[in-house]
Chain A
Amino acid sequence: MLFYLIRRAASLFFVLFGLAILIFVIARIVPGDPARIALGPLATSGQVTELRIEMGLDEPFFVQLGTYLSGLAQGDLGKSLLTSRPVMDDIIAALPATFELVLFTLILQIIISIPLGILAAVYRNTWVDNVIRVFSLVGVVTPGFVLAILLQLSAAMYFGFFPITGRLDPSIVFDADITGLLLFDGLVKGRFDVVGDALRHLFLPAIALAAGGIGQIVRITRSAMIEVASRDFIEASRAYGIPERVVRFRYMLRVAAVAPLTILGLEFASLIGNAFIVEFVFSWPGIASYGVRTILQKDLNAVIGVVLVSGVFFVVANLTIDIVLGLLDPRHRLREGRSK
């Protein structure tokens, strides 16, 4: 197991290193001078040259790459042209908002989709199954931004209880200085007004973000449960007279949980990606909003930082799931080992 962990961690390092270089190369080979792009068409050539020197763009390519990588190793992503602050500080400031949204969405997805998947499997090929199938299909095929706008529209018109922008009501004074997560810090500090208001703000963006994944997780849970149901040990347990409830929820679910778990890792990563749209629509002050703003301003350092940080999440989420699966199912560790 230890060897397995070390090998996985090594591959993580390798992928992250490749990712860093790849992003840098993409940012440098694109046509156009980053300094000129940053300053706009009205800047004089003198100003452009000055900024080029300040950004180190006059150095040879490999020197630039070296500077960038050694900065990266120290957690330095350069300065943002948009906010004139270090990109790292901007990202750290924006991360908790995204993290809170994504975690809440993930929990929402699990609470909704796993029971629905089990229900669909238990009542296979009945109207229950069909209703759930249509529901999850609608979730999968509805574009996130369309759903976000529809939710905003109906919230504005019919249920004003859910705010349609922001993270916390401006009238509430609260300093989330423990983790930056409003729900967590609010609970720890006993500020239930903050928790309640944060939940109200979270609700609509989380629904918009959750819909696509719910459909997928429902489908996968359903087919995994159906597949497990046909195995011999389930038949044997029933023959022993073990209550149906125990068979279903203790024996079947444990084996069937592997497939949805795999998807959840991917889901977490894709939520970070999809958050770009949802944060934009709901003016959520997270890393994706920051990403879109800096992209529109062609703020290259910040863009590299945002892409890199989301890539790290993606890779770490997959690694975590791999490890969890390895713990749950020893065959997974062995399979990974043989295939390399």
Chain B
Amino acid sequence: MSAPDMIDATRSLTSRQMALYRFTRNPAALIGAVIVISVIIAAIFAPLLAPFPESAGSFVDFRNRHAAPSWEHLMGTDNVGRDVFSRVLYGFRVSLGLVVGVLGVAVPFGVILGLVAGYFGGWTETIIMRFTDIMLALPPLAMALAITAVLSPNLVNAMIAITLLWWTWHTRLIFRIVKAQMNEDYVEAAQVAGASHFHILFRELLPNCISAIAVKISLDAGFVILFGASLSFLGLGIQPPTPDLGTMVATGSEYMPEMWWQAVMPGLAILYAILGFNLLGDGLRDMLDVEL
């Protein structure tokens, strides 16, 4: 080993380099990242990757129905002869769409409420946090079921139902972080310097919440997928012929146990996606060293 290398090794790492180093030394987190990336690629490029893109719709090929997994149909075919593998790829598209739709609205909303409640305190805090408590007391799945059932079940309404319930977790998380941050000197310094509330909320406090939000989003994504799939499984979410993984499990389970692949393959696909987001979220948590 030459002298310059040794000098290099003793150079102190920036915190970002440290975090990245921790992440790459964590095999579970890396596996999670690979799974998540593969799901995202499958979702974006489903029309190019799917061997039978026409299977995504209400395509019917009765001569090929109930075909067992083979090289031609990696996951077999379903009750009307559609390629299960192609439908799973499109299913990831629907699931990720749900995740983006739900978290895209619920996270900003929840975070802003948490920031405001934590920063202003007093009556603002009481009203926002008590309302959050009530929302948290609602049994999520039962509520989502009720909302989608009354609004008539489809993708958009499932999204609305899940979003209505999801923001509360972010409000509570951010509220707790902001409450702890309020004792820090930098907040007082900003106030003394005459910074506006808006500046303190979004330029001073928000950056200190970003790590926690990132970890939470990654862990959330898996649960949103699970939640959406559960709704569809009960027939209250996304409706056929849209290729949704939960609906595929429900339809396929009617042909169990002989034609097991129709339910088991989409079921494993859901498991795969949730596993990926979970491992990634846990890895990010260790890497960014945040407590949720």
Q: Which A residues form the contact surface with B (CB < 8 A)?
A: 14-16, 18-19, 22-23, 26-27, 30-32, 37, 137, 140-146, 149-150, 152-153, 156-157, 269, 272-274, 276-277, 280, 288, 291-292, 295-296, 298, 300, 303, 306-307, 310-311, 313-315
Contact = CB atoms under 8 A, between A and B. Distances in A.
Interface string B146-186: 11011100000000000000000000000000000000000
B212 interface: no
A164 to B, nearest CB: 11
Given A15-B137, A153-B256, A296-B149, A307 B233 contact: no
B267 A26 contact: no
Contact of A298 (B137, B138, B150, B264): B150
A332 B236 CA distance: 41
A273 B278 contact: no
A141 B233 contact: no
A311 B138 CA distance: 5
Nearest to A140: B278
Contacts of A306: 142
Contacts of A141: 222, 271, 274-275, 278
Nearest to A26: B147
Give me the 4 closest cross-chain CB pairs, A-B, nearest first: A146-B267, A310-B139, A18-B134, A295-B149
A300 B150 contact: yes
Contacts of B149: 295-296, 298, 303
B213 to A, nearest CB: 21
Contact of B230 (A140, A143, A269): A143
A150 B264 CA distance: 8
Interface string B232-267: 011110000000001001000100110010011001
Contacts of A14: 130
A163 to B, nearest CB: 16
Interface centre among B135, B137, B141, B278 (most CB of A within 10 A): B137
Interface in B263-285: 263-264, 267-268, 270-271, 274-275, 278-279
Nearest to A11: B133
Given A31-B151, A149-B256, A156-B257, A137 B278 contact: yes
B151 A30 contact: yes
B140 A137 contact: no
21 contacts: A15-B130, A15-B137, A18-B134, A22-B135, A22-B138, A30-B150, A141-B274, A146-B267, A152-B256, A153-B256, A153-B260, A157-B257, A269-B139, A273-B140, A276-B141, A280-B234, A291-B142, A295-B149, A307-B139, A311-B137, A311-B139
Given A141-B278, A314-B138, 16 more contacts: A18-B131, A19-B134, A30-B151, A140-B278, A141-B271, A153-B256, A153-B260, A269-B139, A272-B139, A273-B140, A277-B141, A295-B149, A307-B138, A310-B142, A311-B138, A313-B139
B145 interface: yes
Contacts of A315: 137
Q: Give the dominant DSSP class at B's interface.
A: helix
Nearest to B222: A141
A137 B28 CA distance: 11
A307 B229 CA distance: 20
A275 B133 CA distance: 22
Contacts of A142: 271
Contacts of A140: 278
Given A30-B150, A291-B145, A303-B146, A143 B226 contact: yes
A149 B150 contact: no
Nearest to A306: B142
Contacts of A37: 150
B123 to A, nearest CB: 14
Interface centre among B138, B141, B142, B246 (most CB of A within 10 A): B142
A233 to B, nearest CB: 24
B168 to A, nearest CB: 12
A140 B226 CA distance: 11
A146 B271 contact: yes
Given A295-B145, A300-B150, A145 B233 contact: yes
B236 A295 contact: yes
Interface centre among B130, B141, B229, B278 (most CB of A within 10 A): B141
Contact of A307 (B134, B146, B256): B146
Contacts of A152: 256
Contacts of B222: 141
A142 to B, nearest CB: 6
Contact of B133 (A15, A31, A146, A310): A15
Given A18-B134, A137-B278, A150 B267 contact: yes
